[in-house]
Structure 1
Protein backbone atom coordinates (compact mmCIF):
# COMPACT_ATOMS: atom_id res chain seq x y z
CA UNK A 1 0.00 0.00 0.00
CA UNK A 2 1.43 3.38 -1.02
CA UNK A 3 1.60 6.00 1.76
CA UNK A 4 0.65 9.51 0.64
CA UNK A 5 2.77 12.36 2.03
CA UNK A 6 0.66 15.51 1.67
CA UNK A 7 3.57 17.87 2.21
CA UNK A 8 5.10 16.36 -0.94
CA UNK A 9 1.96 16.05 -3.06
CA UNK A 10 0.47 19.49 -2.29
CA UNK A 11 2.57 22.08 -4.14
CA UNK A 12 1.81 24.90 -1.68
CA UNK A 13 3.55 22.97 1.10
CA UNK A 14 6.76 24.11 -0.56
CA UNK A 15 7.95 27.73 -0.53
CA UNK A 16 11.11 29.61 -1.56
CA UNK A 17 13.52 30.99 1.00
CA UNK A 18 14.50 34.64 0.64
CA UNK A 19 11.69 35.71 -1.67
CA UNK A 20 7.92 35.98 -1.63
CA UNK A 21 5.82 33.84 -3.94
CA UNK A 22 2.19 34.34 -4.96
CA UNK A 23 0.29 31.03 -4.89
CA UNK A 24 -3.29 29.81 -5.13
CA UNK A 25 -4.09 27.58 -2.18
CA UNK A 26 -6.78 24.95 -2.66
CA UNK A 27 -9.66 24.61 -0.19
CA UNK A 28 -8.82 21.99 2.45
CA UNK A 29 -10.35 20.46 5.57
CA UNK A 30 -8.47 20.38 8.85
CA UNK A 31 -8.68 19.14 12.39
CA UNK A 32 -8.68 22.37 14.39
CA UNK A 33 -8.45 23.67 17.97
CA UNK A 34 -8.65 27.35 19.01
CA UNK A 35 -6.78 29.08 21.80
CA UNK A 36 -5.27 32.27 23.18
CA UNK A 37 -1.97 33.31 24.71
CA UNK A 38 1.76 32.71 24.55
CA UNK A 39 2.39 29.33 22.86
CA UNK A 40 5.52 28.88 24.97
CA UNK A 41 3.65 29.05 28.27
CA UNK A 42 -0.07 28.55 27.55
CA UNK A 43 -1.64 25.37 28.91
CA UNK A 44 -4.28 25.85 26.20
CA UNK A 45 -1.60 25.49 23.52
CA UNK A 46 -0.09 22.35 25.04
CA UNK A 47 -3.55 20.89 25.49
CA UNK A 48 -4.51 21.66 21.90
CA UNK A 49 -1.50 19.77 20.54
CA UNK A 50 -2.17 16.88 22.93
CA UNK A 51 -5.75 16.62 21.64
CA UNK A 52 -5.07 17.01 17.91
CA UNK A 53 -2.49 14.30 17.37
CA UNK A 54 -4.33 11.29 18.87
CA UNK A 55 -7.35 12.12 16.70
CA UNK A 56 -5.14 12.56 13.64
CA UNK A 57 -3.47 9.18 14.15
CA UNK A 58 -6.75 7.36 14.87
CA UNK A 59 -8.15 8.84 11.66
CA UNK A 60 -5.06 7.77 9.71
CA UNK A 61 -5.24 4.19 11.06
CA UNK A 62 -8.94 3.97 10.21
CA UNK A 63 -8.25 5.21 6.69
CA UNK A 64 -5.62 2.52 6.21
CA UNK A 65 -7.78 -0.23 7.73
CA UNK A 66 -11.20 0.64 6.33
CA UNK A 67 -10.41 2.44 3.08
CA UNK A 68 -7.09 0.89 2.12
CA UNK A 69 -5.55 4.37 1.88
CA UNK A 70 -2.58 5.27 4.06
CA UNK A 71 -0.95 8.67 4.54
CA UNK A 72 1.64 10.46 6.64
CA UNK A 73 0.17 12.62 9.40
CA UNK A 74 1.02 16.11 8.09
CA UNK A 75 2.94 18.89 9.85
CA UNK A 76 1.29 21.08 12.43
CA UNK A 77 -0.04 24.43 11.21
CA UNK A 78 -1.32 27.55 12.91
CA UNK A 79 -3.46 30.57 12.16
CA UNK A 80 -2.35 33.59 14.22
CA UNK A 81 -3.86 36.99 14.85
CA UNK A 82 -4.26 39.70 17.49
CA UNK A 83 -6.73 42.51 18.10
CA UNK A 84 -3.77 44.86 17.55
CA UNK A 85 -1.61 43.22 14.88
CA UNK A 86 1.41 45.27 16.02
CA UNK A 87 1.52 42.95 19.04
CA UNK A 88 2.10 40.14 16.56
CA UNK A 89 4.60 41.68 14.16
CA UNK A 90 6.66 44.38 15.86
CA UNK A 91 6.12 44.13 19.62
CA UNK A 92 5.69 40.31 19.64
CA UNK A 93 3.45 40.51 22.71
CA UNK A 94 2.59 36.82 22.75
CA UNK A 95 0.17 37.05 25.65
CA UNK A 96 -2.19 38.94 23.32
CA UNK A 97 -2.11 36.38 20.50
CA UNK A 98 -5.06 34.31 19.33
CA UNK A 99 -4.48 31.12 17.40
CA UNK A 100 -6.03 28.09 15.75
CA UNK A 101 -3.89 24.97 15.49
CA UNK A 102 -4.50 22.81 12.43
CA UNK A 103 -3.71 19.41 10.93
CA UNK A 104 -4.79 19.04 7.30
CA UNK A 105 -6.75 15.94 6.26
CA UNK A 106 -6.62 14.13 2.90
CA UNK A 107 -9.63 14.91 0.72
CA UNK A 108 -10.97 11.35 1.03
CA UNK A 109 -11.47 11.59 4.81
CA UNK A 110 -15.11 12.23 5.73
CA UNK A 111 -16.79 13.48 8.89
CA UNK A 112 -17.93 10.01 9.93
CA UNK A 113 -14.36 8.72 10.03
CA UNK A 114 -13.29 11.67 12.18
CA UNK A 115 -16.27 11.27 14.51
CA UNK A 116 -15.34 7.62 15.03
CA UNK A 117 -11.74 8.63 15.77
CA UNK A 118 -12.93 11.18 18.34
CA UNK A 119 -15.01 8.53 20.09
CA UNK A 120 -12.10 6.09 20.17
CA UNK A 121 -9.71 8.67 21.61
CA UNK A 122 -12.32 9.66 24.19
CA UNK A 123 -12.72 6.07 25.33
CA UNK A 124 -9.08 5.85 26.42
CA UNK A 125 -6.80 8.29 28.21
CA UNK A 126 -8.96 11.25 27.27
CA UNK A 127 -7.07 14.47 26.34
CA UNK A 128 -8.30 17.46 28.32
CA UNK A 129 -9.17 19.49 25.20
CA UNK A 130 -10.65 16.67 23.12
CA UNK A 131 -14.11 18.29 23.09
CA UNK A 132 -12.56 21.36 21.44
CA UNK A 133 -11.35 19.43 18.37
CA UNK A 134 -13.47 20.19 15.33
CA UNK A 135 -13.38 20.06 11.55
CA UNK A 136 -12.70 23.33 9.76
CA UNK A 137 -12.70 24.00 6.03
CA UNK A 138 -10.28 26.73 5.00
CA UNK A 139 -10.52 28.49 1.63
CA UNK A 140 -7.57 30.87 1.49
CA UNK A 141 -7.28 31.26 -2.29
CA UNK A 142 -4.59 33.71 -3.42
CA UNK A 143 -1.73 33.96 -0.90
CA UNK A 144 1.81 35.26 -0.58
CA UNK A 145 4.23 32.91 1.16
CA UNK A 146 7.90 32.33 1.90
CA UNK A 147 10.10 29.89 3.80
CA UNK A 148 11.60 31.10 7.06
CA UNK A 149 14.59 29.19 8.42
CA UNK A 150 15.45 29.99 12.02
CA UNK A 151 13.84 30.65 15.41
CA UNK A 152 10.21 31.71 15.55
CA UNK A 153 11.21 34.94 17.28
CA UNK A 154 13.14 36.00 14.18
CA UNK A 155 10.01 35.96 12.01
CA UNK A 156 9.07 39.58 12.69
CA UNK A 157 11.56 41.06 10.19
CA UNK A 158 10.48 38.58 7.51
CA UNK A 159 6.84 39.44 8.12
CA UNK A 160 7.51 43.16 7.81
CA UNK A 161 9.19 42.56 4.45
CA UNK A 162 6.34 40.29 3.38
CA UNK A 163 3.76 42.95 4.23
CA UNK A 164 5.74 45.55 2.27
CA UNK A 165 5.98 43.18 -0.70
CA UNK A 166 2.22 42.62 -0.59
CA UNK A 167 1.58 46.37 -0.74
CA UNK A 168 4.08 46.82 -3.58
CA UNK A 169 2.19 44.21 -5.61
CA UNK A 170 -1.03 46.22 -5.28
CA UNK A 171 -2.53 43.67 -2.90
CA UNK A 172 -3.91 43.87 0.60
CA UNK A 173 -3.95 41.33 3.39
CA UNK A 174 -7.10 39.42 4.20
CA UNK A 175 -7.71 36.48 6.47
CA UNK A 176 -5.25 35.33 9.10
CA UNK A 177 -1.50 34.86 9.14
CA UNK A 178 -0.79 31.17 8.51
CA UNK A 179 2.28 29.17 9.52
CA UNK A 180 3.22 25.61 8.53
CA UNK A 181 5.81 23.95 10.75
CA UNK A 182 7.88 21.69 8.50
CA UNK A 183 10.32 20.85 11.31
CA UNK A 184 9.67 19.01 14.55
CA UNK A 185 10.63 21.62 17.11
CA UNK A 186 11.35 18.90 19.69
CA UNK A 187 14.12 17.47 17.50
CA UNK A 188 15.34 20.50 15.53
CA UNK A 189 17.70 23.23 16.71
CA UNK A 190 16.01 26.66 16.57
CA UNK A 191 18.39 27.97 13.89
CA UNK A 192 17.40 25.08 11.59
CA UNK A 193 13.63 25.18 12.03
CA UNK A 194 11.77 25.50 8.71
CA UNK A 195 8.46 27.35 8.71
CA UNK A 196 6.28 28.42 5.79
CA UNK A 197 4.86 31.90 6.43
CA UNK A 198 1.66 32.49 4.44
CA UNK A 199 -0.67 35.47 4.14
CA UNK A 200 -3.96 35.43 2.21
CA UNK A 201 -4.35 38.49 -0.05
CA UNK A 202 -6.73 40.15 -2.47
CA UNK A 203 -6.47 43.12 -4.86
CA UNK A 204 -6.26 46.44 -3.02
Structure 2
Protein backbone atom coordinates (compact mmCIF):
# COMPACT_ATOMS: atom_id res chain seq x y z
CA UNK A 1 0.00 0.00 0.00
CA UNK A 2 1.35 3.41 -0.94
CA UNK A 3 2.31 5.69 1.92
CA UNK A 4 -0.02 8.56 2.71
CA UNK A 5 1.02 11.86 1.16
CA UNK A 6 2.22 14.13 3.95
CA UNK A 7 3.07 17.69 2.92
CA UNK A 8 5.24 18.14 6.02
CA UNK A 9 7.40 15.24 4.85
CA UNK A 10 7.35 16.04 1.14
CA UNK A 11 8.07 19.76 1.48
CA UNK A 12 10.40 20.01 4.46
CA UNK A 13 11.74 23.40 3.37
CA UNK A 14 8.22 24.79 3.67
CA UNK A 15 6.90 22.86 6.66
CA UNK A 16 9.87 21.66 8.69
CA UNK A 17 12.47 24.46 8.82
CA UNK A 18 14.96 24.42 11.69
CA UNK A 19 16.39 27.94 11.38
CA UNK A 20 15.41 30.35 14.16
CA UNK A 21 16.97 33.31 12.33
CA UNK A 22 15.59 34.65 9.05
CA UNK A 23 16.70 32.84 5.89
CA UNK A 24 15.76 33.11 2.22
CA UNK A 25 13.98 30.08 0.73
CA UNK A 26 12.19 29.26 -2.53
CA UNK A 27 8.56 28.21 -2.09
CA UNK A 28 6.86 26.27 -4.92
CA UNK A 29 3.35 27.00 -6.17
CA UNK A 30 0.88 25.40 -3.74
CA UNK A 31 -2.90 24.96 -3.59
CA UNK A 32 -5.08 25.33 -0.53
CA UNK A 33 -8.55 25.27 0.89
CA UNK A 34 -9.18 28.80 2.16
CA UNK A 35 -11.63 30.97 4.11
CA UNK A 36 -11.39 34.77 4.48
CA UNK A 37 -12.34 36.92 7.44
CA UNK A 38 -11.29 39.69 9.80
CA UNK A 39 -11.02 40.45 13.51
CA UNK A 40 -9.27 39.17 16.61
CA UNK A 41 -8.67 35.39 16.24
CA UNK A 42 -8.92 35.01 20.03
CA UNK A 43 -12.45 36.39 20.24
CA UNK A 44 -13.93 36.37 16.73
CA UNK A 45 -16.68 33.82 16.20
CA UNK A 46 -15.98 34.09 12.46
CA UNK A 47 -12.44 32.84 13.03
CA UNK A 48 -13.62 29.82 15.02
CA UNK A 49 -16.26 29.02 12.42
CA UNK A 50 -13.70 29.33 9.61
CA UNK A 51 -11.41 26.82 11.31
CA UNK A 52 -14.30 24.37 11.79
CA UNK A 53 -15.33 24.74 8.16
CA UNK A 54 -11.82 24.26 6.79
CA UNK A 55 -11.21 21.05 8.72
CA UNK A 56 -14.67 19.70 7.87
CA UNK A 57 -14.00 20.16 4.14
CA UNK A 58 -10.38 18.99 4.36
CA UNK A 59 -11.31 15.69 6.00
CA UNK A 60 -14.21 15.17 3.61
CA UNK A 61 -11.81 15.67 0.67
CA UNK A 62 -9.34 13.26 2.30
CA UNK A 63 -11.89 10.46 2.68
CA UNK A 64 -13.28 10.98 -0.84
CA UNK A 65 -9.77 10.95 -2.31
CA UNK A 66 -8.92 7.73 -0.49
CA UNK A 67 -12.20 6.03 -1.43
CA UNK A 68 -12.58 7.22 -5.01
CA UNK A 69 -8.98 7.58 -6.15
CA UNK A 70 -7.05 5.34 -3.77
CA UNK A 71 -4.93 8.37 -2.83
CA UNK A 72 -4.76 9.08 0.89
CA UNK A 73 -3.11 12.06 2.54
CA UNK A 74 -2.44 13.52 5.96
CA UNK A 75 -4.48 16.68 6.49
CA UNK A 76 -1.92 19.47 6.79
CA UNK A 77 -1.56 22.01 9.57
CA UNK A 78 -3.65 25.14 9.82
CA UNK A 79 -2.06 28.12 8.08
CA UNK A 80 -2.95 31.78 7.78
CA UNK A 81 -2.24 34.88 5.74
CA UNK A 82 -2.43 38.00 7.87
CA UNK A 83 -2.50 41.72 7.11
CA UNK A 84 -3.96 45.06 8.13
CA UNK A 85 -4.73 48.27 6.28
CA UNK A 86 -2.08 49.88 8.49
CA UNK A 87 0.94 47.61 8.96
CA UNK A 88 1.64 49.27 12.31
CA UNK A 89 -1.62 47.74 13.57
CA UNK A 90 -0.27 44.32 12.66
CA UNK A 91 3.09 44.77 14.39
CA UNK A 92 1.39 46.35 17.42
CA UNK A 93 -0.95 43.32 17.70
CA UNK A 94 -4.11 45.44 17.31
CA UNK A 95 -5.99 42.29 16.39
CA UNK A 96 -9.43 43.79 15.92
CA UNK A 97 -8.02 45.48 12.81
CA UNK A 98 -6.51 42.33 11.33
CA UNK A 99 -7.59 40.68 8.09
CA UNK A 100 -6.95 36.95 7.61
CA UNK A 101 -7.21 34.13 5.13
CA UNK A 102 -7.05 30.72 6.80
CA UNK A 103 -5.60 27.86 4.77
CA UNK A 104 -5.12 24.09 4.71
CA UNK A 105 -2.91 22.62 1.99
CA UNK A 106 -4.64 20.61 -0.75
CA UNK A 107 -2.56 18.01 -2.63
CA UNK A 108 -2.03 18.77 -6.32
CA UNK A 109 -4.43 16.03 -7.48
CA UNK A 110 -7.38 17.54 -5.58
CA UNK A 111 -9.55 19.31 -8.15
CA UNK A 112 -11.99 22.19 -7.73
CA UNK A 113 -14.79 19.71 -8.48
CA UNK A 114 -13.64 17.49 -5.60
CA UNK A 115 -13.62 20.53 -3.31
CA UNK A 116 -17.13 21.54 -4.37
CA UNK A 117 -18.41 17.99 -3.82
CA UNK A 118 -16.74 17.90 -0.39
CA UNK A 119 -18.37 21.21 0.55
CA UNK A 120 -21.85 19.87 -0.27
CA UNK A 121 -21.18 16.66 1.67
CA UNK A 122 -19.67 18.42 4.68
CA UNK A 123 -22.45 21.01 4.79
CA UNK A 124 -25.12 18.31 4.79
CA UNK A 125 -23.36 16.40 7.59
CA UNK A 126 -21.99 19.20 9.76
CA UNK A 127 -24.27 22.11 8.97
CA UNK A 128 -21.54 24.73 9.49
CA UNK A 129 -22.63 27.81 7.48
CA UNK A 130 -18.99 28.88 6.96
CA UNK A 131 -18.46 25.80 4.77
CA UNK A 132 -20.18 27.72 1.98
CA UNK A 133 -17.30 30.23 2.05
CA UNK A 134 -14.50 27.66 1.62
CA UNK A 135 -12.74 28.11 -1.71
CA UNK A 136 -9.60 26.97 -3.47
CA UNK A 137 -6.58 29.26 -3.38
CA UNK A 138 -3.25 29.01 -5.22
CA UNK A 139 -0.21 30.75 -3.74
CA UNK A 140 2.87 31.56 -5.79
CA UNK A 141 5.08 32.94 -3.03
CA UNK A 142 8.45 32.11 -4.59
CA UNK A 143 11.41 33.82 -2.93
CA UNK A 144 10.57 34.30 0.75
CA UNK A 145 12.16 35.13 4.08
CA UNK A 146 11.30 32.38 6.55
CA UNK A 147 11.99 31.48 10.18
CA UNK A 148 10.84 28.96 12.80
CA UNK A 149 9.41 30.87 15.76
CA UNK A 150 9.27 29.02 19.08
CA UNK A 151 7.01 30.63 21.65
CA UNK A 152 3.67 32.32 22.10
CA UNK A 153 1.95 33.88 19.11
CA UNK A 154 1.92 37.17 21.04
CA UNK A 155 5.73 37.01 21.28
CA UNK A 156 6.17 37.32 17.50
CA UNK A 157 6.45 41.13 17.51
CA UNK A 158 10.24 41.35 18.08
CA UNK A 159 11.13 38.89 15.31
CA UNK A 160 8.69 40.52 12.88
CA UNK A 161 10.03 43.96 13.73
CA UNK A 162 13.53 42.63 13.07
CA UNK A 163 12.38 41.35 9.68
CA UNK A 164 10.84 44.62 8.52
CA UNK A 165 13.21 47.10 10.11
CA UNK A 166 16.55 45.25 9.89
CA UNK A 167 16.71 42.07 7.79
CA UNK A 168 14.86 43.27 4.68
CA UNK A 169 16.61 46.68 4.45
CA UNK A 170 20.01 45.09 5.11
CA UNK A 171 19.46 42.67 2.22
CA UNK A 172 17.90 45.23 -0.15
CA UNK A 173 14.57 43.40 -0.05
CA UNK A 174 10.94 44.44 0.27
CA UNK A 175 7.65 42.67 0.90
CA UNK A 176 6.10 40.97 -2.15
CA UNK A 177 3.08 39.29 -0.61
CA UNK A 178 1.16 38.70 2.60
CA UNK A 179 2.59 37.59 5.94
CA UNK A 180 2.15 33.80 6.17
CA UNK A 181 2.07 31.65 9.31
CA UNK A 182 2.02 27.85 9.58
CA UNK A 183 0.94 26.42 12.94
CA UNK A 184 2.92 23.25 13.61
CA UNK A 185 1.72 22.87 17.21
CA UNK A 186 -1.76 22.34 18.64
CA UNK A 187 -2.32 25.33 20.96
CA UNK A 188 -4.88 23.32 22.94
CA UNK A 189 -2.22 20.81 24.01
CA UNK A 190 1.04 22.79 23.89
CA UNK A 191 2.61 25.15 26.41
CA UNK A 192 2.57 28.61 24.77
CA UNK A 193 6.33 28.87 25.32
CA UNK A 194 6.82 25.74 23.17
CA UNK A 195 4.53 26.56 20.25
CA UNK A 196 6.26 26.10 16.88
CA UNK A 197 5.18 28.43 14.09
CA UNK A 198 6.68 28.94 10.65
CA UNK A 199 6.73 32.66 9.80
CA UNK A 200 7.09 33.50 6.10
CA UNK A 201 7.24 36.71 4.09
CA UNK A 202 7.43 36.68 0.28
CA UNK A 203 10.05 39.20 -0.85
CA UNK A 204 11.65 40.73 -3.92
CA UNK A 205 14.68 42.91 -4.55
CA UNK A 206 14.16 46.54 -3.58
CA UNK A 207 16.48 47.66 -6.37
CA UNK A 208 18.69 46.16 -9.04
CA UNK A 209 22.25 45.39 -8.11
CA UNK A 210 24.94 47.28 -10.05
CA UNK A 211 25.83 44.13 -11.98
CA UNK A 212 22.27 43.21 -12.90
CA UNK A 213 21.59 46.82 -13.89
CA UNK A 214 24.27 46.80 -16.60
CA UNK A 215 22.96 46.64 -20.16
CA UNK A 216 23.55 43.42 -22.07
CA UNK A 217 26.65 43.52 -24.34
TM range (shorter): over 0.9
Match of 1:57?
A: 59
Q: What's 1:42 paired with? A: 44
1:135 match: secondary structure? strand
Given the two structures, how large is their TM-score scaled by the length of structure 2?
0.91
CA distance in 1 between partners of 2:6 and 2:190 (Å): 20
Superposed CA offset, 1:1-58 (max 9, x none)? 3112111111321223321111111111110000110000001100100111010001
In structure 2, the residue matched to 1:95 is: 96
Q: Which residue of 2 aligns with 1:136?
A: 137
Partner of 2:156, secondary structure, is: helix
Report the equivalent of 1:152.
153
Hey, what's the Cα distance between the residues in 1 that align with 2:30 and 2:99?
21
What is the number of residues matched between the two proteins?
203
CA separation in 2, counterparts of 1:69 and 1:187? Answer: 30
Does the CA contact (< 8 Å) of 1:15 and 1:21 recur in 2? no
- TM-score normalised by length of structure 1: 0.97
Structure 1: give runs of 5+ residues left out of the alignment: none
Larger Rg: 2
Q: What is the root-mean-square deviation of aligned Cα atoms in Å?
A: 1.0
Does structure 1 conserve the Cα–Cα contact (< 8 Å) formed by 2:33 and 2:135? Answer: yes
Counterpart Cα distance in 2 of 1:168 and 1:48: 37
2:6 matched residue in structure 1: 5
Unaligned runs of at least 5 residues, structure 2: 207-217
Counterpart residue number, 1:32: 34
